[in-house]
Amino acid sequence: MAQAAKFELSDSSVTVIVGSGSGGGVLANELAQKGVKVVVLEAGGRYLPEDYVNDEWESFGQLAWTDPRTTSGDWRVAKDFSGLPAWIVKAVGGTSIHWAGASLRFQDHEWKAKTNYGVVEGANLLDWPIDGAEMQPWYDKAEAKLGVTGVGGRPRLPGNSNYKVFEKGAKALGYKEVHTGNMAINSVDYDERMSCQQTGFCFQGCKWGAKWSAAYTDIPRGEATGNLEVRDHAHAARILHDDAGKVTGVEYFDKDGNLQMQKARLVCVAGNSFESPRLLLNSHSTMFPDGLANRSGQVGRNYMRHTTGSVYGVFEKPVRMWRGTTMAGIIRDEARHDPARGFVGGYELETLSLGLPFMAAFLDPGAWGREFTTALDSYENMAGMWIVGEDMPQADNRVTLSDTEDSFGLKVANVNFSDHPNDIAMRNHAYKVGQAIYREVGATRTMPTPPYPSTHNLGTNRMSEKPEDGVVNKNGQSHDVANLFISDGSQFTTGAAENPTLTIVALAIRQADHIAREMAAGNV
Partner 1 sequence: MSELSKQGLTRRALLSRAVAAGALAVAGTGFIAAPDAAWAVEVTHVSEHQMATLLQMARDIYPHDRVGDRFYAIAVKSYDSAEQKAAVAEGIAALDKAAKDAGFEDYLSAGWEDERVAILRKIEETKFFQTLRGGLVTGLYNQKEVWPIFGYEGESFSKGGYIDRGFDAIDWL
Ligand X SMILES: Cc1cc2nc3c(=O)[nH]c(=O)nc-3n(C[C@H](O)[C@H](O)[C@H](O)COP(=O)(O)OP(=O)(O)OC[C@H]3O[C@@H](n4cnc5c(N)ncnc54)[C@H](O)[C@@H]3O)c2cc1C
Pairing of strands 70-72, 411-416: parallel
Smallest gap, in angstroms, from Cβ of residue 199 to partner 1?
A: 4
Smallest gap, in angstroms, from Cβ of residue 371 to partner 1?
A: 11
Judged by CB under 8 A, the chain residues 150 through 169 that form the site for partner 1 are 158-161, 163-165, 168
Contacting residue, 17, 41, 382, 392, with ligand X by CB under 6 A: 41
Task: Report the residue number, 107 or 499, with the smaller CB distance to ligand X.
Answer: 499
Judged by CB under 8 A, the chain residues 195 through 234 that form the site for partner 1 are 196-201, 207-208
For the beta carbon of residue 429, count every other beta carbon within 10 angstroms: 19
Contacting residue, 5, 17, 22, 363, with ligand X by CB under 6 A: 22
Pairing of strands 484-486, 266-269: parallel
Q: Is residue 64 within 8 Å of 90, Cβ to Cβ?
A: yes
Residue 147's binding partner among ligand SF4, partner 1, ligand X, none (Cβ under 5 to 8 angstroms by kind) is none
Given the rule CB under 8 A, which of 10-18, 19-27, 364-372, 451-459 is the region that contacts partner 1? 364-372
Residue 495's binding partner among partner 1, ligand SF4, ligand X, none (Cβ under 5 to 8 angstroms by kind) is none
Q: Which amino acid is at 468?
A: E
Residue 2's binding partner among ligand SF4, ligand X, partner 1, none (Cβ under 5 to 8 angstroms by kind) is none
The CA-atom distances, in angstroms, between 403 and each of 69, 297, 466 are: 10, 20, 32
Given the rule CB under 6 A, which of 197-205, 307-315, 339-347, 512-520 is the region that contacts ligand SF4? 197-205
Pairing of strands 235-241, 330-331: unpaired
Q: Does 484 bind ligand X (CB under 6 A)?
A: no
Task: Report the residue number, 52 or 492, with the smaller CB distance to partner 1.
Answer: 52
The CA-atom distances, in angstroms, between 139 and each of 133, 143, 218, 349, 437 are: 10, 6, 17, 22, 32
Spell out a b/e string for 58-81, using b for 16 or more CB atoms within 10 Å of the CB, else e. Answer: ebbebbbbebebbbbbebebbebb
Given the rule CB under 6 A, which of 6-14, 110-118, 202-210, 306-314 is the region that contacts ligand SF4? 202-210
Q: What is the CA radius of gyration of the chain?
A: 22
Find the farthest-apart pair of alpha carbons in the chain and give their distance in angstroms, rounded: 70
Torsion sign across C-alpha atoms 271, 277, 278, 283: positive
Judged by CB under 6 A, the chain residues 292 through 331 that form the site for ligand SF4 are 324-325
Give residues in contact with ligand X (CB under 6 A): 18-24, 41-44, 65, 87-91, 94-96, 98-102, 203, 235-236, 270-272, 275, 279, 327, 455-456, 488-489, 499-502, 504
Give residues in contact with ligand SF4 (CB under 6 A): 185, 196-202, 206, 208, 210-211, 324-325
